[in-house]
Structure 1
Amino acid sequence: MVTGLAWLALEAKYLEPAREFYEERLGLTVRERRADELVFAAGETDLLLRRPAGFPRGGLHTHYAFSIPEGEYDDWWDRLGDEYDLEEAQFGPARSLYLYDPDGNCVELGQQDVAGPGIDGIFEVVLEVEDLDRAREFYEDLGFATVDEGDDRTRVRLQGPMALELWEPHLGIADARGGVHVDLGFETDDPNAALEAVRDRVRAVDRESDGEVVVRDPDGHVLTFTSS
């Protein structure tokens, strides 16, 4: 039902340190500057850095993952290793490195089948939820499919236009946490059909029109369904 990740929005207390980290350290291009927001191009997905000046707020302590070409991994490690306390994890043949941005978001750079050069998309976002079963059913009705459940029953991984991890409160790899009040934009062929699939379980419908629908999921995350 949802076909792509249009954006991920994070909260930044101060925009200049956030800009420096994402533009100068990670090589993202600033696509748009607004009074309280920066928009970066991360492949086909936008990364929004937003000051806490209104609603919706961006996500706090959000763990998410950028896609990088497999062959660039060692270069990224060398580039970032002198300045940041990096951690590494391996998932089958793919490696990921982890570091933190100035606002405490856990940023993963993981080997993916992408063209690059540099960061080329967002392949995972982690949300903190209160009830795993409730959250999983909600996102499954939007077209995500469960692909993995944690042994300790504190997390579940779903696959859709990107990987979506739902975590009950705990610390993950690199002491990452799931994000709270995260703002996600999803592309879909029919925003109103996406709304009808979950209308009885959303916390609120903030906006409803033919081309765009904005809702709050059962845990307060802001989801925008926008025409692809």
Structure 2
Amino acid sequence: MLSSLSWLALEVKYLDPAVEFYTTQLDLPVRERTETEARLGAGDTDLVLRTPSGVPRGGLHTHYAFSIPGAGYDDWFERLAADFDLHEERFGPVRSLYFYDTEGNCVELMGSDDAGEGVTGLVEVVLEVEDLDRAVSFYGSLGMETVDVGENRTRVRLTAGPFDFELWEPHLGLADARGGVHVDLGFGVESVEDCVAAVADEGLSVERRDGWARVRDPDGHYLTFRE
């Protein structure tokens, strides 16, 4: 059902330093900007930085991952180590580095097999949930498949193919990261109505407009579907 991750929105207190962080440290281009919001490019996904000026607000203390070509991983590590206390993890042959942005979001750069240079996509988002089984059921209804369950049963990893979610009950993860609260996400989907029908009974609210629909999940995260 979910064919692409269109955007991840983060709430920022002050827009200028947040934009400077992502354009300077990660070379993300600014695609669009207003007084209260900036859309930056991460491959085919927008990273949206938004001041607290309305609802949906954007996520707080969200952990998420950008993909970078594995061949450029060492260069990124050397570049960022000059300014940040980096945390590194290995997942089989894949290396990831973690650091924090101006708003306390834990940013991960995950080495991948992608060709090219720079940040090539946004491939993982971590959501904080109150009831793990309920959240897994909700996102499973949207076609996401469970691929890993944490040993202490406080987290579950799901995939939609081009991107992954981790659902965390409240705890500190790798690099002391936390799952995001009231996160705003956008998706490209095969059918808006099929997505709404799959989760409408479990969602807190449903808003329909011409060409798109927005559902609020049981933990207060906002999901917008567009064909």
Normalised to the residue count of structure 1, the TM-score between the two structures is: 0.98
CA distance in 2, matches of 1:210, 1:112: 37
**Retained in 2: the 8 A contact 1:128–1:169?**
yes
Amino acid at match of 1:183: D
Q: Deviations over 1:141-175 (max 9, x none)?
A: 10100000001010000011311000000000100
Quote the residue 1:85 is aligned against.
Answer: 85
1:151 maps onto 2:164 in alignment: no
Matched-pair identity in %:
61
Amino acid at match of 1:164: F
Quote the residue 2:51 is aligned against.
Answer: 51
Amino acid at match of 2:123: F
Quote the residue 2:28 is aligned against.
Answer: 28
Quote the residue 1:19 is aligned against.
Answer: 19
CA distance in 2, matches of 1:132, 1:112: 29
Structure 2 residue runs of 5 or longer lacking an equivalent are none
Deviation at residue 210 of structure 1 after TM alignment:
4.9
Over aligned residues, Cα RMSD in angstroms?
0.8
CA distance in 2, matches of 1:174, 1:116: 27
Deviation at residue 192 of structure 1 after TM alignment:
1.1
Q: Deviations over 1:51-80 (max 9, x none)?
A: 001111010000000000000100001111
Q: Deviations over 1:157-198 (max 9, x none)?
A: 001131100000000010000000000001101111100011
Deviation at residue 211 of structure 1 after TM alignment:
1.6
**Retained in 2: the 8 A contact 1:191–1:210?**
no
CA distance in 1, matches of 2:54, 2:199: 26
CA distance in 1, matches of 2:35, 2:96: 34
Quote the residue 1:179 is aligned against.
Answer: 180
Quote the residue 1:212 is aligned against.
Answer: 212
Count of residue correspondences: 226
Alignment of structure 1 residues 125-204 onto 2, 5 Å: 125-160=125-160, 161-204=162-205
Deviation at residue 113 of structure 1 after TM alignment:
2.2
CA distance in 2, matches of 1:171, 1:81: 23
Quote the residue 1:97 is aligned against.
Answer: 97
- Deviating 4+ runs (over 2 angstroms): none
Give the match's secondary structure for 1:200: coil
CA distance in 2, matches of 1:18, 1:37: 11
CA distance in 2, matches of 1:180, 1:148: 22
Structure 1 residue runs of 5 or longer lacking an equivalent are none
Deviation at residue 116 of structure 1 after TM alignment:
2.8
**Retained in 2: the 8 A contact 1:192–1:210?**
no
Give the match's secondary structure for 2:193: helix
Quote the residue 2:6 is aligned against.
Answer: 6
Normalised to the residue count of structure 2, the TM-score between the two structures is: 0.98
CA distance in 2, matches of 1:113, 1:177: 27
Deviation at residue 26 of structure 1 after TM alignment:
0.6
Give the match's secondary structure for 2:201: helix
| Higher mean C-alpha deviation, range 109-118 or range 87-96 | 109-118
